[in-house]
Amino acid sequence: MIIGICGGSGSGKTTLLKRLAAHFEHMKPTVFSMDNYYLPIEEQFLDQNGQVNFDLPTALDEQQLISDLRRLKNGEAIEVKEYHFNAPPGKNVLITLEPSPVIIVEGLFLFHYKEVREMLDFTVFMDVDPQTQLDRRLYRDQETRGYSREAILYQWEHHVIPCFEQFLMPYEDIADFHFKNDNLADQEFDRLLESLSHKLECSNV
């Protein structure tokens, strides 16, 4: 069973992925992050002001991503370079992902990549207040990525919001579960587990 998690930047995709992985630890779930497929910075698209735009489907190696996910689905182990924003070129760690009865996939373009979308058995769309998303991104990118507040706000306006509106929002209604990531997130998580448990039973996983 492949569970997909989609949502805008700062919506809580990675946090939810970790919570699900911990809950299903007894099944040794495979965690598949689409971030691991970012192309080198020299291959990224530059916007009209010469700034790198990481918020486009072309920012990732789509074909390799699809190939690796399909191999996992077919029961094969894969090797992938684990992406870290601040890692020097060529220094990202090579990790092995083993196949599992449960594969959890997260990424911006989960639905936009048609071949990925068709492999998913259950999908979650993260629903969070935009101001909360921006606050999280401001904190994360200043603390861990060294961006200035001005640079973050520029990306938010010119890259992040247009990406969400064009490549995520059109698919919102096809998600199996809408996760409202607010002050009632723990209740939402319990509700999600109930839905997933029923799906797992039906899938004989």
- DSSP labels for 2-64? EEEEE--TTSSHHHHHHHHHHHTGGG-PEEEEGGGGBPPGGGSPB-TTS-B--SSGGGB-HHH
Minimum mean pLDDT range among 72-81, 139-148, 184-193:
139-148
Q: What's residue 83's pLDDT? A: 81
Q: What is the pLDDT of residues 66-110, one digit of tens each?
A: 999 999 999 999 999 988 765 555 667 899 999 999 999 999 999
Q: What is the pLDDT of residues 103-142, one digit of tens each?
A: 999 999 999 999 999 999 999 999 999 898 999 999 988 9
Average pLDDT over residues 1-24: 94
Q: Domains of the chain by range and CATH?
A: 2-203 (3.40.50.300)
